[in-house]
């Protein structure tokens, strides 16, 4: 741990500690400034995205109990930029009196997909068909009822498409399972491959005393396992589907005692059902549109929720919002492209994360809000593609 000036706030105002120095922690600093809240960030380097944006930076690892203890001292609440803190360390911190939100018993459902499936099924939340599997023949047996292809997942350690495979037959299953070593504590999970109309995300914020608000349900587009486009609200949903998606998200939040933002990623099926795919218990890429497109952003409501403050209005401020991620391309210096995009579109909201460019890395996002969805999609994709370097005009 290296030193930094402590957070300073007005009398009575709290300090929130955020474990992880990525763009989610960075974007929490904007509403923290408005709310008069102090933010302390546990980063791995002073160059981390969030470490650039806050005064009270501590350097340390999220899996080092000593670093976590020293970090938590002086924070009123500790929350997260990611879900990688080992459950045992979270339990230790909580047993020692640190206020951790979401708590370890909730967070484990976002860390382990098999524990999540068990809890959601127990809470009657609609999921794809699933089964814990140990051997290739278990998977083949599962496929006899769920059909091929099968989605095979490691229960822990995957993100942005890692730890997930779509397998067409028994031979592919055998090849994968006999050549892949599970990480510590991980198990195998087999799931039905859902033939979906679109992928959705339903976000809710929930506070310790149980207040919850639901954001508009959005459409997400994944490319190579990475979220690349979000449209708010999701086009073409029936009122029943919207209600079902929001109801599922609120049910999950209550059943798992989630505190803070919860993103429930779902599939809309061809027969009008919504099935839960994944959970994230923190601000989520599918909610970045809310910074510029909602009365209260997901980052503000995350802070309000973990502080047990009353939650803000999650309503959209315009009929449509489109968010497109900016991925690193071949432009090491993005600034000229950034200037071009601003000149071309004065209504564009550009968000850069302060990261060095690496191909495929999430380095920023753009958002546009307004009345004409096709126009918004054109503008957002043009800006993101230009920033990445996919197009140069």
Residues within the interface to its own copies (CB under 8 A): 4-5, 7-14, 26-27, 29-30, 33-36, 38, 46-47, 51-55, 57, 213, 291, 295-296, 304, 309-313, 315, 317-318, 332-336, 338-339, 342-343, 346-347, 349-357, 363-364
Determine the number of helices (DSSP H) and then strands (DSSP E) in the chain: 12, 17
Secondary structure string (H, E, C) spanning 318-343 = CCEEEEEEEECCCCCCCHHHHHHHHH
157: left (phi over 0), alpha (psi -120 to 50) or beta: left
Q: Shortest Cβ distance from residue 368 to its own copies (Å)?
A: 10
Of the CA atoms within 13 Å of residue 5, those in its CB half-sphere come to 6
Please classify residue 36 by burial: count the beta carbons closer than 10 Å to its beta carbon, then call 0-12 exposed, 13-18 middle and 19+ buried: exposed
Q: Shortest Cβ distance from residue 45 to its own copies (Å)?
A: 9
Secondary structure (DSSP) of 222-248? EETTEEEEEEESPTT--HHHHHHHHHH
Tell me the three state secondary structure of residue 152.
Answer: strand
Q: Shortest Cβ distance from residue 201 to its own copies (Å)?
A: 22
167/334 with CB nearer its own copies: 334
Q: Shortest Cβ distance from residue 283 to its own copies (Å)?
A: 14
Q: Shortest Cβ distance from residue 297 to its own copies (Å)?
A: 11
Phi, psi of 219 (to 5 degrees): -95, 135
Q: How far apart (Å, rounded) are the C-alpha atoms in residues 238 and 244?
A: 10
Name the residue among 261, 277, 262 with its Cα closest to residue 196. Answer: 277
Q: Shortest Cβ distance from residue 112 to its own copies (Å)?
A: 33
113/351 with CB nearer its own copies: 351
Q: Shortest Cβ distance from residue 348 to its own copies (Å)?
A: 8
101/153 with CB nearer its own copies: 101
123/295 with CB nearer its own copies: 295
320: left (phi over 0), alpha (psi -120 to 50) or beta: beta
Percent of the chain that is helix, strand, coil (3-state, to 5): 35, 25, 40
272 in Cβ contact with 195 (< 8 Å): no
55/91 with CB nearer its own copies: 55
26/109 with CB nearer its own copies: 26
Q: How far apart (Å, rounded) are the C-alpha atoms in residues 32 and 15?
A: 9
166/295 with CB nearer its own copies: 295
198 in Cβ contact with 268 (< 8 Å): yes
46/123 with CB nearer its own copies: 46
Q: Shortest Cβ distance from residue 110 to its own copies (Å)?
A: 26
Q: Shortest Cβ distance from residue 251 to its own copies (Å)?
A: 22
Name the residue among 380, 276, 286 with its Cα closest to residue 326. Answer: 380
Q: Shortest Cβ distance from residue 364 to its own copies (Å)?
A: 7
211/222 with CB nearer its own copies: 211
Name the residue among 300, 277, 276 with its Cα closest to residue 288. Answer: 300
Name the residue among 77, 122, 88, 87 with its Cα closest to residue 108. Answer: 87
226/318 with CB nearer its own copies: 318
């Amino acid at each position: 741990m290296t030193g930094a000036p402590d957070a300073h706030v007005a009398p009575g105002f709290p300090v929130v500690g955020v474990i992880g120095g990525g763009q989610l922690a960075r974007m929490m600093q904007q509403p923290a400034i408005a709310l008069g809240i102090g933010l302390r960030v546990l980063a791995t380097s002073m160059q981390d995205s969030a470490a650039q944006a806050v005064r009270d930076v501590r350097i340390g690892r999220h899996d080092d109990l000593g670093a976590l203890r020293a970090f938590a001292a002086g924070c009123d609440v500790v929350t997260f930029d990611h879900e990688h803190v080992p459950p045992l360390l979270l339990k230790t911190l909580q047993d020692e009196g640190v206020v951790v939100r979401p708590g370890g018993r909730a967070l484990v459902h976002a860390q382990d997909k098999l524990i999540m499936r068990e809890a959601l099924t127990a809470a009657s939340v609609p999921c794809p068909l699933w089964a814990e599997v140990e051997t290739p023949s278990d998977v083949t047996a599962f496929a006899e009822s769920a059909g091929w292809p099968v989605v095979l997942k490691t229960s822990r350690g995957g993100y942005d498409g890692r730890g997930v495979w779509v397998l067409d037959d028994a031979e592919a299953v055998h090849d994968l399972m006999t050549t892949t070593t599970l990480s510590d504590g991980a198990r195998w999970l087999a799931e039905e491959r859902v033939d979906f109309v679109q992928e959705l995300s339903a976000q809710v914020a929930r506070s310790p005393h149980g207040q919850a608000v639901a954001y508009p349900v959005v459409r997400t587009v994944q490319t190579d396992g990475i979220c690349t486009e979000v449209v708010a609200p999701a086009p073409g949903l029936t009122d029943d589907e919207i209600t079902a998606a929001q109801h599922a998200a609120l049910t999950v939040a209550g059943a798992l005692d989630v505190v803070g933002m919860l993103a429930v990623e779902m599939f809309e099926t061809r027969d009008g059902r919504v099935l839960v795919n994944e959970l994230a218990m923190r601000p989520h890429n599918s909610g970045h549109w809310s910074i510029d497109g909602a009365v209260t952003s997901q980052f503000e409501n995350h802070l309000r929720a973990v502080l047990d403050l009353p939650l803000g209005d999650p309503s959209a401020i315009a009929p449509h919002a489109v968010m497109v991620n900016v991925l690193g391309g071949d432009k090491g210096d993005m600034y000229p492209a950034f200037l071009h995009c601003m000149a071309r579109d004065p209504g564009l909201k550009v968000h850069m994360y302060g990261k060095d460019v690496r191909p495929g890395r999430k380095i920023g996002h753009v958002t546009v809000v307004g009345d004409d969805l096709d126009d918004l999609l054109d503008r957002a994709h043009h800006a993101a593609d230009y920033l990445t370097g996919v197009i140069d005009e």
